[in-house]
């Protein structure tokens, strides 16, 4: 049976999963735009997961954060002449990572 779809514009109640402080951090992350919002949310998740004593999950979240930070750096690099050059570099990096994976 398929999972029920959420209605557009409805937010999930996160109070069961997150502390008030974490909820405030998620709300702040939602106010950001683009990759900055994703990075802020990943940081909240890492703080949440670090206390679970699951090093594999912590490592996965940190790797995701590193990839997002690298993407942010590549996109904001001031030496790029245009957005198309930045996107080309990002695609080259992603292609190289995909080739390197077993």
- Cβ distance 22 to 48 under 8 Å? yes
| Residue whose C-alpha is closest to residue 64's, from 84, 80, 44 | 44
pLDDT of residue 10: 52
Question: In sequence order, which residues have a C-beta less than 8 Å from that of residue 12 and are 6 or more positions away?
Answer: 6
75 three-class SS: helix
Closest CA to 58 of 48, 68, 50, 47: 50
pLDDT score of 7: 47
Return the pLDDT at 94: 74
CB distance 55 to 46 below 8 Å: no
User: Are the C-beta atoms of residues 44 and 29 closer than 8 Å to each other?
Assistant: yes
User: Residue 59 — φ and ψ, nearest 5°?
Assistant: -60, -45
Below-70 pLDDT ranges, the chain: 1-16, 77-84, 86, 101-102
């Amino acid at each position: 049976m398929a999972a029920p779809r959420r209605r557009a514009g409805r937010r999930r109640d996160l109070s069961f999963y997150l502390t008030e402080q974490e909820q405030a951090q998620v709300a702040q992350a939602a106010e950001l735009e683009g990759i900055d919002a994703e990075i802020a949310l990943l940081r909240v998740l890492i703080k949440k997961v670090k206390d679970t004593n699951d090093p594999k999950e912590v490592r996965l979240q940190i790797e995701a954060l590193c990839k997002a930070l690298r993407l942010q750096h590549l996109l904001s690099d001031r030496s790029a002449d245009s957005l198309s050059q930045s996107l080309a570099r990002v695609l080259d990096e992603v292609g190289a990572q995909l080739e390197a994976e077993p």
